[in-house]
Structure 1
């Protein structure tokens, strides 16, 4: 009876040790460190475990009460189906090996039928076209991914409000990008966006006016500080001159002399004045060409800025 109890306790102890993770090195009882998918001993360097698989969930929903099970990629506003579509590969299989010619022809037929059945209606096809144009404009301007998500969501909202009827999809897409830049305070002008968009500036202005009226966008007034870094980058302005120009722009905003003035023109005037103070010479004609204004406008803003500095 005592022998049976001893063997039972030994089996239970071994089972418990197998079920619990190793807390110390089996060789020297040193501390274990887990890094780069391997667990090693800090003292003797023995690798206890390697190539450990992370069997946890890849993505978590925003709702804390939702299921935390293993799922695919997160939903996104960039795709017309929110990222739930299927993509068929081309010349290689899942292991990276080349596939035969017969298999490639079969995949080409499947890809063609899949492309034909990808959109359930013309409205969904227009949505995919518009979202693709939004992604292209965002990529050409080099904007952040968060702005891309907001612009795609805004385009989807505009289509739900039937603002695409009678207007080009390219114009609504470009207006969505411009509206997101305005709402977030980024200094992107109509000329910049129309230059990379597939529509004219007049169509862009028409689409933005309709979206601003119908959707009641929370747009903010563009400030010279938001426009100034882009102008300084195009002109190759030194850092000390740019910092002084930002100080002058902030000073003008505090004095409320930027109200009703062209933000790019006032930013160009700040750069001109900062260049004079720091010994960096630039002509008013060069500043006017970059800021899409005239030398007369720059001189008028410079005089208003000098009045504040002389107080």
Structure 2
């Protein structure tokens, strides 16, 4: 049953279209979903619609006598596993660390320790013997600096260099090609469980002769690939993002430079390329060169309604966020 296409399920065409747009292709993809509620949130459909998909996609119950209890428990524990960001402040905002198979976007102005946090997450995965793909678009984290970061750990496996794949991607066509080939790349590197996307917003800035329609189409394709990888392969994804200025009117509605009352800094790519159901978005808001506030923009629990979870941060002399 798990390899069947989604079209084999008896579900409405509109729901099938929503699943396809979100990157789900087979029944196996749906079997990694935690609940109908999660699916409803991810696809922005009603609970009843989600339940009509979720229930028939699940595997039939296995007789108790044939259940491999130890293996099942280990598998469940691995899915729920969390990895430390090596910052107690950020771990608290993430309810204990970044969960396997989830997505974390880290935004902030230049000078904030976005890349440091991403490199620290790499260290946490490598310590556990997990493979990593690190995509660098601006040489913000070179192979040498990434290795220096890894060397701060005393718990690296002997073959740790074989676990880290650092890729320099300098053009938008190369990034599009990488995203297109990501599923096959993951298939040939089964140990890879973490993908770092460092400042990919840089390649989608002005000067690329992109129309708004083309940019949205590219980001929608990125979203499908990332959803598919996180849902079906339990790939954890960390994206660092630069900021852009958003002009707001006095009533909070979008404005222009002529009508706007204030400007706020927001992640450059917005939320277009990120699925809502399993994504955490945090932003560094500096107040001095070495301190400020880390704020949660959105998470699977917090969707922007009410006061945003936030905590003060400080940067140590070696650039870390304790």
The structure with the larger Rg is: 1
TM-score range, shorter chain: under 0.3
**TM superposition score normalised by structure 1:** 0.23
When you count helix as a share of all residues, which structure comes out higher?
Answer: 1
When you count strand as a share of all residues, which structure comes out higher?
Answer: 2
Greater RCO, 1 or 2 (C-alpha within 8 Å, sep 6+): 2
